[in-house]
Amino acid sequence: MRNSRLLLTVIAAFFVTACSQPAVRPAADYRTPGASAQAAPAGKPVVYQVFTRLFGNQNTTNKPWGTRAENGVGKFNDFSDKALEGIRELGVTHIWYTGVPHHAVIGDYSQFGVSADDPDIVKGRAGSPYAVKDYYSVNPDMAENPAQRVKEFRALVERTHAHGMQVIIDIVPNHVARHYQSLDKPKGVEDFGARDNTSVEYARDNNFYYVVGKPYQVTQWPAAYQVLGGEQHPLADNKFAETPAKWTGNGARAVRPSFDDWYETVRLNYGVRPDGSFDFDQLPPEYAQKDIAAHAQFWADKDVPDTWVKFRDIALYWLDMGVDGFRYDTAELVPVEFWSYLNSHIKTRNPNAFTIAETYNPKQYRDYLQRGKMDFLYDKVETYDTIRAVMAGKGGTDPLVEIKRQSADIEGSLLHFLENHDEQRIASPQFAGNAAMGKPGMLLSATMSTAPTMLYFAQEVGEAAPDDAGFGKASRTSIFDYWGVPSLQRWANGGRYDGGALTADEAALREFYRRLMSFSGNESAMQGGFAEVHSFNRAGTRGYDDRLFAYTRSSDTQKLLIVANFRADKNYSIGLKVPTTVIASWGLADGEYKLVEQLYEQVRVSMRVTGGEGVVPLELPPLAAYIFELETQ
């Protein structure tokens, strides 16, 4: 969900201020015959986030606000064996297929029993993937035969597994589409809000919050935007029937939310009263040290809010289809107790399930990891923001030392990335303006910690997202519009997925990412110890400044020296110092040692150890991103 500053504000506001069926029932079992979870991959995970409906689209029209027929749309079947092989060669272990659950779209699927969505409450023409309309189905846009859309997605899961990768999809627990209606829900499942008491603002087992007695009023769009770009549409009439009005997804309680609110969604109720107090059993603090089994046992006899149970059944439905894990949108807007409840059910069903939470508040990280039982959290506010500032020439590398120190106890759980659907593309003028700036930035992102690394599709070929797509604006690949991604289309090369149409620079960049991600995912030192040598060199190495960053990674069998140069216009000639603490931990006596670079050919240097301290003469060209391995004797 876009706009982390807004999200932090919403988190604070909701938790500081802030006729039902029985909520406890057995967990549903929707196992698909033959469906099975993948074994957890060895090594350091590499996640490839792909915006599913854009990936295979070969249409190059790219008309702002273009229709599906005009601009084209990618399909599940576009992820052919050849395409998946190309993703796997990047070192990818998990594919996050973004936008799979059926969300609101502007298109006629009435022949398949799908109700029309109102453009007044849909972002863009293709719709936001974070306004889910049916949690038990998939986006019909991406099926060759919409009547068989779930079957086609299940086949994609099986193909992905066959190529040795796991499948992640989104769960958006905080909100659903303003017009939620599940066509494909299993027998016995009721839609969100089906039994709500709408005469009250809040009841624990209501799924929504209500503005009692008042109808919803459609958001007034600013002059820069027009519904469907101004195109006439029978439902684009500045009206939408919703009485009483529901709270909007970001917690706005006005009957007419503003354009900056998440007006296309409605807030879900997790037993949090309007004043921010909790209407459910609290998880004792000591559960931060307890395992999944203990968390599952804690909730076994508890009466929990109905929304909790609905999302438990949704998650288990997808696990039983063969999905291997979830990325949780806006996780901090949902109480940590719910995550303990949900994740303990998920891990009981599949101990290897892989969970990522979108988080922006470092003060809450440990709570969501330890009591909420998350596997991984976004490391956006600290690591990403700092590296981004360095790449954009608006900051230095020094803060990374303290960030690493403060997060040392949870570093393996903080997912690193430089792009995702919410962030600007590296190559865009609004970020770094140069795809090659991704080299030193991604070097750090991929190798500083034992945590997973995430790539966003077409990052590896330097996509700049230069155009306004309609609702989506330049610098971020649109998640709201039908669109083609030019650099990715060149790699796809008419469906051959061989990179045959890439420019020389794009091909070289992809090869860099392939080598880096494969190395970071497979080498033992990436799961070993970290020692920063940056501070030591800042204090005593001539010419070493805050546009460089150096550190070591090591295991029993592998010793690495990693160095990045963030300057695009400067060569550095320095004698990099390796302090006595590192030399001693590596067990090196005084003498000469060879270091061999792992990402580029024919880059070899020597390290002279004298008096227990090492010195490595280095020539660092602009945007150098080097991993030197100590050569064994």
Give 86-115 pLDDT, tens digit per residue.
Answer: 999 999 999 999 999 999 999 999 999 999
Is 126 part of any domain?
Answer: yes
Same domain flag for 62 and 162: yes
Composition of the chain by helix, strand, coil, percent to 5: 30, 20, 50
Last residue of a domain, one of 492, 522, 552: 522
Do 504 and 580 fall into the same domain?
Answer: no
Helix (H, G, I), strand (E, B) or coil at 608: strand
Q: What is the structure's pLDDT at 224? A: 86
For the chain, the domain total comes to 2
| Domain-ending residue, one of 522, 556, 575 | 522
What pLDDT does residue 5 have? 46
Beta strands in 477-528 (DSSP E): none
CA-to-CA distance for 123 and 441, rounded, in angstroms? 32
Beta strands 591-597 and 604-610: pairing type?
antiparallel
Q: Are residues 539 and 512 in the same domain?
A: no
Distances (CA, A) of 98 to 142, 303, 474, 600, 630: 12, 33, 20, 33, 40
CATH number for 534: 2.60.40.1180
Say how far apart CA 188 and CA 258 lie, in whole Å: 37
Classify residue 163 by burial, with Cβ atoms within 10 Å: 0-12, 13-18, 19+. middle
Looking at the structure, tell me whether residues 86 and 193 fall in a common domain.
yes
Tell me how far apart the alpha carbons of residues 541 and 387 are, in angstroms, rounded to a whole number. 22
Q: Are 629 and 564 in contact (CB under 8 A)?
A: no
pLDDT at 16: 41
The answer on 11 and 33 residing in a single domain is: yes
**Block residue for tokens 């931990």:** 585
Quick one: 63 and 87 in the same domain? yes
Flag whether 370 is in a domain. Answer: yes
Annotate 406-449 with DSSP letters as a single string. Answer: HTTTTGGGEEEES--TTSPPTTSTTTTS-GGGHHHHHHHHHHSS
Q: Does residue 141 lie within any of the structural domains?
A: yes
Q: Are residues 444 and 578 in the same domain?
A: no
Given this model, what pLDDT does residue 21 score?
37
**Residue 238 domain-assigned?**
no
Give the residue from 148, 161, 146 showing the smallest Cα distance to 108: 146
Nearest-CA neighbor of 487 among 397, 427, 535?
427
Do 293 and 384 have their domain in common?
yes
Same domain, 450 and 537: no
Distances in Å between the Cα of 343 and the Cα atoms of 6, 42, 202 are 26, 22, 26
Host domain of residue 462: 4-197+275-522
Q: Is-contact 575 548, C-beta < 8 A?
A: no
The parts of the chain modelled with pLDDT lower than 70 are 1-26, 28-41, 633
Look at residue 12 and tell me if it is in a domain. Answer: yes
Q: Is residue 616 part of a domain?
A: yes
**Does 254 fall in a domain?**
no
Chain centre distance of CA 76 = 20
Based on the fold, state whether residues 159 and 284 are members of the same structural domain: yes
544 shares a domain with 561:
yes
Residues 458 and 588 in one domain: no
- Domain with residue 423: its CATH number is 3.20.20.80
407 lies in a domain? yes
- Amino acid type, 492: A
Task: Please say which residue of 476, 493, 522 terminates a domain.
Answer: 522
